[in-house]
Amino acid sequence: MKVMLAFAALACGVSANAVYAERQPPGVGSVAPDFEARDLLTNEKIRLSAQHGKLVFLTFWATWCPPCRQELPILENVQKKLGKSRAAVLAVSFQERDETLREVKKMAKATGWQLTLLSDPSGYIAEQYAIKAIPHLFIIGRDGKILAVHSGYGEGSIDQLVGEINAALKTANEPPAGEHPPPPPQ
């Protein structure tokens, strides 16, 4: 009986710790948690795992976040420079109101944004990535593993981001951002 009580107490302690343990964001070298979300512009379903073979820039942002408003145009330029065949910029809205997202959708269509704006109304994706503050950016390699993680955005962020993008391209045997791949041998 004592053994059963000890086991029950241990089991309760383990489950209580599991409930109260705070989820940690996935780190460099780990496989990025897969998810599916709706593209705000096209309403098509986008699955992270379908981007396999591309560099993925997964950012969590909101219109009410000034650093996010600085980061998003830079990521749009990354998408334009690398192209849809080499990279996917997935911008997940974080705790954004529906009416605000409708305005963002209009603006993105009018300006011809190429990055993919994703809706996360339930917060499921943010939960999978343990997002507590934004902007929060994950650079994911062609193999689906996380290459770099950035929380926040500041003056030095651009140089660091460009360096990490070029390092990721180098590991993928591709030319640096802004350069086009050489033509295939004939």
Residues 26-50: pLDDT tens digits?
A: 999 999 999 999 998 888 999 999 9
| Per-residue pLDDT at 161 | 78
pLDDT band with cut points at 50, 70 and 90 for residue 111: confident
pLDDT in tens, 17-26: 343 346 788 9
Q: What are phi and psi of 27, to 5 degrees?
A: -105, 175
Q: Outline where DSSP puts E strands in 4-80.
A: 36-39, 45-47, 55-61
Task: Tell me: pLDDT of 131 over 90.
Answer: yes
Taking the model in full, what pTM does it have? 0.78
| Per-residue pLDDT at 186 | 52
pLDDT band with cut points at 50, 70 and 90 for residue 172: low
| Per-residue pLDDT at 4 | 40
Mean pLDDT of the chain: 81
pLDDT band with cut points at 50, 70 and 90 for residue 96: confident
Q: Outline where DSSP puts E strands in the chain.
A: 36-39, 45-47, 55-61, 87-93, 116-119, 136-140, 146-151
Give the rounded percent of residues in the chain with a pLDDT score beyond 70. 80
Mean pLDDT across the stretch 110-139?
A: 92
Q: How far apart are the first and last CA of the chain?
A: 78
